Amino acid sequence: MSTPCGVHAPIRPEEFARRVDEWHWRTAGAVFRCIDYREAMDSARKGDLVYCDPPYSHSQSILYGAQSFDLGELLATIDRCKTRGVYVALSIDGTKRSGNLLCELGIPEGLFAREILVNCGRSMLKRFQMNGQTLEGEVVADRLLLTY
């Protein structure tokens, strides 16, 4: 349901209705709770999979009102999950730059078993900042970090 980058045609009402019907079917029987991520992750049991998509540390905390979000707390919670046999996938900053600074996160050594770079295409933020300049050098890759 995410909005594509750049100029795009709005979704037709019939297509939106089809997607709603599809998600209704796919989520039948699911329970949705509005709780803190720590509570949700602490309730995960051995063999469960938890997917984390926190605010990107170098850009999104202001955009999404997550000023109080602490990546260190999330990493500690992931470590507790891993210890209990819960599988965790974390989608986080990858090769994105802030100005000339390559965004580093200080992920603890050994917390994740694998890292996969996911090509996200051109930076949408840079598209606005560069005011029509070419974006060939501004390809962004996010990291998918897996504890398994």
In this structure, is residue 45 part of a structural domain?
yes
Comparing CA positions, the residue from 89, 148, 62 lying closest to residue 113 is: 148
Inside any domain, residue 2: no
Q: Does 129 score more than 80 pLDDT?
A: no
Q: How many CB atoms lie within 10 A of CB 51?
A: 10
Whether 13 is covered by a domain: the verdict is no
Is residue 30 domain-resident? Answer: no
What confidence score (pLDDT) does residue 20 get?
A: 96
Residue 85 falls inside a structural domain:
yes
Residue 70 lies in a domain: yes
Domain that holds residue 45: 37-146
Which of residues 53 and 67 earns the better pLDDT score? Answer: 53
87 pLDDT higher than 80: yes
